């Protein structure tokens, strides 16, 4: 049988430069390998990759076009996986496929489907079978029996018989992960994408019982880690085939068994690989961290989840917050980068609890962004959790799209989700002690502020007693006065101008950084339009923007980064005009040009699209006898700052080096 597996569509709304997750789905790679091992043909389709290639567009046609693309693969069975954050996408695509091919078996798996299998089959006719739990043990028999239409006797399945949903007994979890074949990485275009790092499954299961997390509901509480020999053998294979030397080891709690981690470190040491992992701060110590670093570990994800000791108990995270700064300091001292992730929006969270979380994030900004990456997420209801058991009957819907939630595309998406709160709970929210508006404001405010970077935020926080919560409160007061329920870049700039004054270097830096983020987002949003639609003959690229009457912000930020002393900000007059440009070769970097005089007038004139005739006339009228303005325009064209369809040739990468 030919089965086509379709990956999730994961969109990180907080990342304008790289919103699509271009990594193979490890579960589907494992299932594909199992299917092949038993004589079936497996194909992997990644919608995120199709979006990245601009083969699909994230608009009202997306579901239909994705369904057509899947059918073009000529499946005899279609295997879908889903998370709660994108269930609406999975359900809609399945519906479009079923309308085109009514007799094509559509299989559904994943954590959300496993927990809500009965409800999904009752409400969505497009799904024929839900495969519950870890599907590797079930898949061979399922594919064999799907051919003959008899599913009886196969464990781990839910399906319809007439109007009744039938569920066979659960399948035991894999106790020995060595039984699994090597994942089918060859189904993903690793070389084509030029991937320099790959995710590798390190193990499964979580022994902890946090109230907000559903990991244990799917993978179980038994902590399982691949043997060091098996795991390193997989790394060796990926290195030999693809030249990959950097790996992200996926396991929510990699370091629970320190003895097994030490065994892995001993086995992988000396190979020249670098790797990252996730860990609890109370499941590492100095000796283990040092051993991990020596064997190649260069980054650790720490889920702290809340800066409030009270909420640590209520959420059953039970982390000693006194470990946070010493653990970060030692991790960073070794040369390893830390990611610290926290959550706001708990039902029981008070103003004091939320302030403690924000202030912990602010304290972490004392470190260099090269050492610490900070995240703040809005709590998402998950099935199979203690929070859902307690508050799930009172879910509410307001259509808000948080960082990982899939956007609404078809006209009835919102209605479908609001009508089925127990299925689309990730798009809903629990009743909370704090007003929902406050949680939403903080959810939008943090990434806006964080995009300003640690050095500038440290300087700003000095004027708020070092407390990020005080800065956020002042920003919200300003937004309320402006009748703005949620903050955005322009509001943040207005707030900074109001708080520090238009001539203050902090204002220049904020304007510079906000404009840079807007240019990155605009570049991404409009790139598909340029590929498919008409382009005016001459106009500024969406990756370029003009910032007038400002300070020398790059030098200012470099000084703040180097000195770590925000009080040294010089109060000089803003006397610069900067042209900002996001280079497609380095989308995380904003380049600047100092411009004035006729060049400034020229760039301002190009803010509106111009015809080639208008451009030629303007240059002829304003250029000097040396042709310096034409030379400037040519440089802008070669760099992609000025889009000119009359010049098809584009600069090579080497042409960009002089910027």
Which homologous superfamily is 196-379 in? Aldolase class I (3.20.20.70)
Least confident interval from 86-90, 328-332, 626-630:
626-630
Bridge partner list, 514: none
Q: Kindly state the tokens that stand for 164.
A: 């009744």
For residue 297, what is the enclosing H or E element? strand 297-305
Q: Closest Cα partner for 380 from 407, 402, 365? A: 402
CA dihedral 354, 402, 531, 511 (to 10 degrees): -20
Alpha helices in 420-482 (DSSP H): 436-450, 454-462, 468-481
Rounded CA-CA distance 336/372 in Å is: 9
Q: Which CATH architecture has domain 531-555+572-658?
A: Alpha-Beta Complex (3.90)
For the residues 449-471, what does the mean pLDDT come to?
Answer: 96
pLDDT for residue 351 is more than 70:
yes
Distance, C-alpha 345 to centroid of its chain: 19
Calculate what percentage of the chain has a pLDDT beyond 90.
Answer: 70
Read off the pLDDT of residues 611-631 as tens digits, 9 standing for 90 and up.
888 888 898 899 887 788 989
* 3-state class (DSSP) for residue 280: coil
Compute the half-sphere exposure of residue 520: CA atoms within 13 Å on the CB side of its CA: 22
- Please tell me the total number of residues recorded for the chain in this structure: 659
Q: What's residue 613's pLDDT?
A: 87
On whether the CB atoms of residues 642 and 606 are closer than 8 A, the answer is yes
| Sequence-ordered strand ranges (E) for 46-181 | 77-81, 106-109, 129-131, 157-161, 164-167
Taking residue 568's Cβ as centre, other Cβ atoms within 10 Å add up to 10
Read off the pLDDT band of 525 (50, 70, 90).
low
Read off the pLDDT of residues 376-418 as tens digits, 9 standing for 90 and up.
999 999 998 999 999 999 999 999 998 878 999 999 999 999 9
Read off the pLDDT of residues 152-195 as tens digits, 9 standing for 90 and up.
778 999 999 989 999 999 887 777 888 899 999 999 999 999 99
Taking residue 95's Cβ as centre, other Cβ atoms within 10 Å add up to 18
Domain ranges of the chain: 2-167, 196-379, 531-555+572-658
The whole-chain average pLDDT of the chain stands at 90
For residue 250, what is the enclosing H or E element? strand 246-250
Read off the pLDDT band of 589 (50, 70, 90).
confident
Least confident interval from 1-5, 243-247, 564-568, 601-605:
564-568
Q: What's residue 171's pLDDT?
A: 84
For the chain, how far is it from start to end, CA to CA, in angstroms? Answer: 55
For the residues 109-130, what does the mean pLDDT come to?
Answer: 95
pLDDT for residue 74 is more than 90:
yes
Q: What's residue 569's pLDDT?
A: 60
Compute the half-sphere exposure of residue 329: CA atoms within 13 Å on the CB side of its CA: 7
- Give the residue, 342 or 606, on which the prediction is more confident: 342
pLDDT for residue 15 is more than 70:
no
Least confident interval from 421-435, 442-456, 503-517, 578-592:
578-592
Compute the half-sphere exposure of residue 151: CA atoms within 13 Å on the CB side of its CA: 23
Q: Closest Cα partner for 219 from 202, 199, 204? A: 204
Per-range mean pLDDT, top range of 51-55, 273-277, 582-586: 273-277
Reduced DSSP (H G I as helix, E B as strand, rest coil) percent helix, strand, coil of the chain, to 5 = 45, 15, 35
Q: What's residue 653's pLDDT?
A: 32
Q: What's residue 322's pLDDT?
A: 98
Least confident interval from 544-553, 579-588, 642-651:
642-651
Edge-to-edge strands, sheet with 2-6: 41-45, 2-6, 77-81, 106-109, 129-131, 157-161, 164-167
Domains 2-167 and 531-555+572-658 share a fold: no
Read off the pLDDT of residues 180-235 as tens digits, 9 standing for 90 and up.
999 999 999 999 999 999 999 999 888 888 999 877 656 556 788 999 999 999 99
Q: For residue 113, what are the CA distances in angstroms to 120, 146, 259, 649, 652? A: 7, 19, 34, 50, 48
pLDDT for residue 520 is more than 70:
yes
Calculate what percentage of the chain has a pLDDT beyond 70.
Answer: 91
For the residues 42-60, what does the mean pLDDT come to?
Answer: 93
pLDDT for residue 326 is more than 50:
yes
Strand 297-305 relative to strand 576-582, pairing? unpaired
Per-range mean pLDDT, top range of 137-146, 454-463, 639-648: 454-463
Rounded CA-CA distance 334/292 in Å is: 10
Q: What's residue 608's pLDDT?
A: 85
On whether the CB atoms of residues 5 and 90 are closer than 8 A, the answer is no
pLDDT for residue 122 is more than 80:
yes
pLDDT for residue 530 is more than 70:
no
Q: Which CATH architecture has domain 2-167?
A: 3-Layer(aba) Sandwich (3.40)
């Amino acid at each position: 049988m030919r089965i086509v597996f379709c990956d999730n569509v994961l969109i990180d709304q907080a990342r304008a430069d790289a919103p699509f997750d271009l990594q193979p789905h490890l579960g589907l790679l494992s299932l594909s390998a199992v299917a092949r091992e038993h004589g079936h043909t497996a194909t992997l389709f990644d919608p995120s990759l199709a979006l990245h290639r601009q083969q699909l567009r994230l608009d009202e046609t997306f579901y239909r076009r994705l369904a057509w693309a899947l059918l073009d693969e000529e499946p005899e069975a279609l295997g879908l996986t889903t998370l709660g954050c994108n269930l609406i996408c999975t359900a809609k695509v399945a519906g479009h496929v079923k309308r085109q091919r009514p007799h094509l078996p559509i299989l559904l798996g994943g954590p959300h489907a496993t927990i809500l299998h009965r409800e999904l089959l009752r409400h969505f006719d497009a799904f024929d079978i839900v495969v519950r739990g870890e599907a590797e043990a079930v898949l061979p028999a399922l594919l064999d029996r799907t051919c003959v239409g008899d599913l009886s006797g196969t464990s781990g399945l839910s399906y319809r018989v007439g109007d009744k949903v039938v569920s066979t007994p659960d399948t035991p979890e894999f106790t020995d992960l060595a039984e699994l074949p090597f994942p089918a990485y060859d189904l993903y275009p690793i070389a084509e994408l030029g991937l320099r790092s790959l995710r590798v499954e390190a193990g499964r299961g979580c022994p902890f019982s946090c109230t907000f997390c559903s990991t244990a509901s799917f993978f179980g509480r038994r902590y399982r880690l691949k043997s060091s020999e098996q795991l390193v053998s997989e790394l060796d294979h990926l290195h030999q085939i693809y030249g990959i030397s950097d790996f992200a080891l996926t396991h929510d709690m990699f370091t629970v068994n320190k003895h097994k981690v030490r065994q892995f470190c001993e086995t992988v040491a000396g190979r020249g690989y670098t790797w990252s992992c996730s860990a609890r701060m109370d499941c590492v110590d100095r000796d283990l961290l040092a051993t991990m670093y020596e064997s190649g570990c260069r980054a650790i994800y720490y889920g702290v989840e809340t800066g409030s000791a009270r909420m640590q108990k209520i959420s059953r995270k039970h982390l000693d917050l006194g470990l946070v700064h010493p653990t970060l300091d030692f991790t960073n001292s070794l040369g390893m980068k830390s990611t610290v992730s926290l959550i706001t929006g708990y039902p029981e969270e008070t103003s004091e609890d939320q302030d403690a979380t924000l202030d912990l994030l602010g304290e972490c900004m004392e470190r260099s962004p090269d050492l610490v990456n900070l995240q703040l997420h809005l709590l998402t209801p998950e099935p199979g959790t203690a929070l859902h058991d307690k508050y799930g009957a009172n879910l509410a819907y307001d259509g808000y799209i948080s960082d990982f939630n899939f956007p609404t595309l078809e006209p009835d998406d919102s209605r479908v989700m609001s009508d089925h709160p127990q299925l689309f709970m990730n798009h809903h929210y629990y009743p909370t002690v704090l007003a929902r508006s406050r949680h939403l404001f903080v959810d939008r405010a943090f990434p806006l502020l964080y995009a300003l970077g640690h050095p500038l935020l440290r300087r700003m926080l000095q004027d708020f007693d070092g407390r990020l919560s005080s800065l956020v409160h002042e920003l919200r007061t300003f937004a309320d006065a402006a009748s703005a329920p949620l903050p955005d870049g322009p509001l943040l700039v207005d707030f900074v101008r109001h708080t520090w004054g238009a001539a203050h270097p902090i204002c220049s830096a904020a304007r510079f950084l906000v404009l840079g983020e807007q240019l990155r987002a605009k570049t991404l949003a409009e790139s598909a339009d340029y590929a498919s639609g008409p382009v005016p003959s001459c106009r500024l690229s969406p990756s370029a923007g003009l910032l007038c009457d400002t300070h020398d912000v790059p030098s200012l930020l470099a000084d703040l980064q180097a000195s770590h002393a925000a009080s040294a900000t010089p109060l000089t007059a803003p006397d610069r005009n900067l042209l900002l440009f996001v280079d497609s070769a380095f989308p995380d970097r904003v380049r600047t040009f100092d411009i004035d005089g006729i060049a400034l007038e020229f760039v301002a004139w190009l803010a509106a699209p111009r015809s080639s005739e208008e451009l030629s006339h303007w240059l002829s009228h304003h250029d000097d006898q040396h042709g310096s303005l034409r030379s400037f325009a040519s440089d802008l064209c070669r760099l992609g700052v000025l889009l000119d369809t009359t010049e098809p040739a584009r600069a090579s990468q080497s042409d960009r080096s002089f910027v």
